[in-house]
Structures are given as structure tokens and as C-alpha cells.
Chain A
Amino acid sequence: MSTPVATRPFAVAGVARAARVRRYGLWLAAAVVLLLLPQSVRTGTAIAVMNQMGIAVIFALSFNMLLGQGGMLSFGHAVYFGLGGFIAAHVLNMAGRGAIYLPVPLLPLVGGLGGLAFAALFGSFSTRRAGTVFSMISLGVAELMAASSLIFDKFFGGEEGITTNRSKAPLLLGLEFTRDRQVYYLIAFWLFVATLAMYAFSRTPVGRMANAVRDNPERAEFVGYSQHRVRFVSFCAAGFFAGIAGGLFAVNYEILTAENMGLNASGAVLLMAYIGGIGAFVGPILGAVVFTFLQSMLSDYTGMWLLYLGILFLATVLFVPMGLAGLLMLHAPVWRARRVGRLLGPYVLTGALGFVAAVGIIGLLEMVHFVAAGRTGTRRLFWLVVAPRTLMPWLGFAALVVAGAVGVRWTGPRAVAAFAEASRPGRP
């Protein structure tokens, strides 16, 4: 009887240490990656894209505090991003004139407080109800702000927007922000802090209650929580972090226009969060990185990048509603059971066939674009030169689509079956 008592403390200590390593190790690794990332790239464009990604990640995570954790679908989250950004830009201009003392590194906090103030204002009435009413009010507020931006010229700067200059503000500890690389470290710092804070928020009682209110508001009320107040707190926190992202945007781009808080910006963050997966904390991070990467990459090659992202978004909604992160998490049991090897074959086959279909669809769309633009002659598509005004390329790409689609219809169910077989618990 004495042996278990003697060994348990060691076992418990071992488990606890493993848990601690898992918990803090991940964050440490993330911090190291953030620090080393700029060293691994040479071009300035890559730094600019990474800056954009960092801002997008904070924004998407703050959006998911509403949608994923609180069950509130907002069509106007960019309002808090934009207002925080505008306030930060004005404060930066004031600091540049010497009217107040405020160094650049603290500016995102100003944006965050601005976002928080407006979130408290609009949230006071919009969080009274969830569901469609909340979505409609958020849409109404977004349209309201879009229309107001045409009226309040002084604050929103009309068509040209508000420009600012980050190099004129006073320095903190001699830190200069003249180059993109220096701004990267500022964004990386705030990205780390904000992500940590948002993760911590989701673990607090308020964060847990947000989940409870999302799933069963009536029961949460019976336990003694006001669903309005729980939603309000989540909404304010989301507005605060969106404002931080807006403040970083002001520092990075030194310009803000009314477009930054328009419906399209609000739609983009919904796309990011949903493609990444709203059910997991890392989902919006993945989504924001993928979205920004695709956006910057595709916009080099085609003018229709939003069309491709829209197709990706609709495909996610229809076929993978759990998003990228959800899809990965689904495979955690298989990974732990060390059966990933068995999935490799069916997955690679399905993926290859899906790729064939995607190439065909992209080819067809690009040719439609070419013909609709009224151009003649040839253009490069992937690895070959095609003449869209002739019949052959259309037949070729259509054949790719058909072959890929038929193939996926055949291999898809087999891949799903292989997954179900591999994730079945117990011995193989």
C-alpha cells in the first residue's frame, strides 16, 4: 500500500512539469519565432507582408472573441479598428506637434482605448440581444459610421483620409521607427502581448461565461449571470483589441481612410476568422496569416484575388465549417495514436486530384477575365502560353476540372473512411 503513495508525488510532478512545458514552451517558441522571423527574409516586401499579417492576426483574434467565443456575428467590427486607428493617428499628429508627450510604442494603447470607448458606447445597446438582432445592429452601426465619415470631415479627413508621421513623435529609450523592420518589432511586441492577453481573457471566468451565454443564455441567467452584461464585457474587450490593431495600422501605414472601417474591412475579418476556424483559439491566427499571404501573393498575379478568396470562403462554409484549425484538431487523436502514415496515401491522392480541379477552375476563370476585358492574343497561365480566343485551352482546362472533380468524388469518401478508421480508438 505504501508504494503508490511514495511514487505518486513524482508522477504528479512529472505530469505537472510536462503540462507546464507544454503551456509555457509554446508561448516561448512563438516569441522566439517572432524575434527571428525578420532575419530569415531578405526582401522589404516580406517585412511589409509580415507587418500586415501581425495587424491582421490581432484584428481577427479580437473578432473571434465575439463570434467564436461569444456567439455574436458582427458585420461592423472594423468600426472599432478604424475608430481606434483614427484616434491614434490624431494623437500621433498631436505628439508630432509637441502638444502632448507620447512616444510611438505606446500609441497602440491609445488606439485600444479609443476602440474600447466606442465599443462601450455602441455595445451598451447592441449587446442586449444576441443572434440576428445583434448582427443587424452591428450592420446598422457600420453603415452609420460609413455615412458619418462623409459628414465629419475634420475627424475622418474626407476622401484623402488622415495622414500622419511616426518619425516626428518623441522617442522612448531612443527607439526609432523609420524603417519597416523597426516597425516590425513594435508590431511583434504588441502581437505577442495582445495574443497572450486575449488567450488569458478566454480562460478567465468572464471568458468562460461568454461561452456559456453563447451556448445556453437561459441557463446562464438561471445561474445568476446577466447575459447582457457578459456579452457587453466581451464586446468591450473585442473593441479594445481591435483598437490596438487599428493603432498599429496607423503607425505602420501612416494613413487612415474611411475605407478602413467600412463594410468591406468588416467582411474581410469575417473571412479570415472563418477560414481559419472560429472554434479554436489559433483558428483566426491561421486564417489571418493565410488570408494576408494569399491576398498579397494573388494580387501580384491577378486582379481577381477577392474572387478566389470568396470561393475559398464559400467552400469553407459549405464543406469545412470548422475551418483550418478545426480540421487540424480533428486529426489530433490520429496523431497521438501514430496512425498518420495510413492517411498519407488517400490524402495525397485526393489532394492531388483537388489540385488538378483547382488548376482547371483557375484557368477557366482567368480566360473569362481575359476575354471579358476585351483583350486578344496570348497570355501565360501557369506553365504554358494559351490563346483564350481559341477553343483548345477551354477544352483543356474544362477537362482538368471534370477529371479532378470526378476523381475527388471517387477518392474523397475513401479518404474520409480512412480517417474514420484511423481515428477509431483502441488497438489497430
Chain B
Amino acid sequence: MFQLIFFSILNGLVYGMLLFMLSSGLTLIFGMMGVLNFAHASFYMLGAYVAFTVGLHLGFWPALVIAPVVVGLLGALVERQGLRRVHRFGHIAELIFTFGVAILVEEIVQLVWGRPAKSYQVPAALDFPLFRVMSSSFPAYKAFMLVVAVAIFAFIFVILTRTRAGLIIQASLTHPQMVAMLGHNVPRVFMIVFGIGSALAALAGVIAGPVLGTFPGMAQVLGSIVFVVVVIGGLGSLSGAFVASLLIGIVQTFAVAMDVSVGGALAAMGVHVNTAGALHDLWRVTIAQVAPILPYVLLVLTLILRPTGLFGTRET
């Protein structure tokens, strides 16, 4: 039991920090431009694929740097040439535009890299068990993921709160007009933030590709979860995104590990239900099966009961 809890917490932390790398960029972009970027997870996927290709020629470590830079530049280009153009048609048009970009990226990935999953492997230098607790071992690569994610968190935190650039970004979040009055080029700030957000997503893709798989559907798998994180944390709130990432990460890892069915839980409490009835599917459902639903239930509940999210200061 201790073993299960210990490893679930560790895995939940790794998964949660990965979610944070994606959601931090997304929430910053939303906070600034008011647009939920559907294509954010597509940049995550592009990161994994570019890193896979670069890794074939140069190895994992150069790819760790090159892929985020390439994808970040691409993100800035998308903002400059596309998003800025549709901005005048309103938020719905922006949302639709990023949705279109997400479709296009998925198709382009299939065009260039093909439909089957790529065998993007954990680098040999990190392919060993870090430590053992009882019969289970913890891979070093997951520890590496954790370290990178924490470093990114510290990096964002320092940039936003301790530097002049961070001050301008924070001011642009709430008072874009005033910042423009003071002589800063707000559209360029937007473009840079969009580019950095895309680069962070790509970095998450580089380090998650070997663990979660590199396939054309990977953006869709994670994309919706990242939305959930951002909404639950409160749109535009970095600390909210951090807490919600860890919350979702740990809840999901724990739920997957539990093999208890609803009917079984009721039976343990002394309530016996007719498992052959019309709802028999419902009683047989195990918590592990419910795990994929949980984030969306949380999402809908949050939007109904507390549209500002956990730490948000304004409504969506």
C-alpha cells in the first residue's frame, strides 16, 4: 500500500509538472490576448516530432535545445501572420483560427512523419532505474523530467517577478492600453509571449515524447486536459495553473491505480445493487475506467460553480 501511494504521488508529480509546462504558456497567452489557443498542444506535438528527427542526426541533447527554438519561432510566426490578422474579427474568430491551425498541424505531421507512432526513445544516458523502493523502481528519466519542469517553473517565476521584461508582461496582462501609452510595443510583447509559450510547449513535447508516445494523436490526447487545467486553475493565473496541474496529475494517477468498481464500493458499505439491471454497466465501472472522465467532470463543475477557477480574478 505504501509502495502504491509513494509511486502514485511521484508519477502524479511528474505528470502534473508536465501539464504545468503546457498550461503555463497557455494561461499566459490567454491572460494577455484573451484567446484560448487550441493549437497549443499542437506545438507540443511538433516539439516531440522535431526533436525525434533532430535526435536521429544529432542526438537527444541538441534536440532538447533546437526543437523548442524552432517551434517557438513557428509559434511567433503564427501569431504575427495569422492571429493578429483575425484579431479584429473578435474572440470567436480567434478561437476558430487556432482550431484550424490545430487541424492543419495534425495533418502536416501525418504528411511528413506518417501515421504510425515513432519509436522516440529515452536517451541511453538516462535509461536506468534511479532508485528502488521495495519491488518497484523509479526511472531516472522521470526524475529528469521533474528537474526540467521545476527549472522551467523557477525560470518563469524569476522572469515574471524579478525582471523588467516580466513587469511589462504582467502589466500587459491587465492594462494593455496603458502599457502601449508608455511607449511599449504591446503587439510585439504578445508575439514574444506567444513564441515563448509555444517553445515551452515544444520543450514539454521533447521530454514527454519518449514516455507518453510520439504519434499524430498526441496533441488531442493532452490538449483537452491542458484546457481543463487552465480553466480549473483560473484563466490567466500562473499559480492557479501550477496547483491545478499538480491536482489533475495526482488525481488521475491515483484513479488509474485503483481497481475498485462502483458496485464493489457500495457492496463494501453494505449496499447491494442489482448488477444485472439496465444500469449494470454503471455498477461494473471501476475507478480506473472513470479516470479519463474525471478531469472533464471537474471542468464542467468548475465552469458552472466557479467560472473564475481556483485562483482566477476574472471570468472567462
Contact = CB atoms under 8 A, between A and B. Distances in A.
Contact of A151 (B110, B220, B285): B285
Nearest to B315: A133
Interface residues of B, number: 45
A171 B293 CA distance: 41
A192 to B, nearest CB: 30
Contact of B296 (A75, A147, A154, A271): A147
A419 interface: no
A392 interface: no
Contacts, number: 119
Contact of A372 (B101, B113, B220): B113
Interface in A302-317: 304, 306-307, 310-311, 313-314, 317
A169 B285 CA distance: 34
B96 A136 contact: no
Nearest to A369: B111
Interface string A131-145: 111011101110110
A133 to B, nearest CB: 5
- Name, among B97, B110, B281, B303, the residue most crowded by chain A CB atoms within 10 Å (CB to CB): B303
A125 interface: yes
A318 interface: yes
A287 to B, nearest CB: 13
B79 to A, nearest CB: 13
B211 interface: no
Contact of B297 (A73, A144, A310): A144
Given A154-B281, A317-B86, A140 B95 contact: no
A129 B89 CA distance: 20
B184 interface: no
A132 B34 CA distance: 9
Contacts of B293: 144, 147-148, 151
B299 A140 contact: yes
Given A147-B292, A304-B111, A372-B112, A140 B91 contact: no
A140 B231 CA distance: 11
A144 B300 contact: yes
13 contacts: A71-B92, A131-B92, A132-B316, A136-B227, A137-B300, A140-B228, A143-B224, A147-B292, A148-B293, A151-B281, A263-B220, A270-B96, A368-B112
Given A133-B307, A306-B103, 20 more contacts: A73-B96, A125-B300, A131-B316, A132-B91, A135-B95, A139-B227, A141-B296, A141-B300, A152-B281, A153-B281, A154-B280, A263-B220, A267-B103, A306-B107, A307-B108, A310-B103, A313-B100, A314-B100, A317-B86, A369-B111
Interface of A: 67, 71, 73, 75, 125, 128-129, 131-133, 135-137, 139-141, 143-144, 147-148, 150-155, 263, 267, 270-271, 274, 304, 306-307, 310-311, 313-314, 317-318, 321, 365, 368-369, 372-373
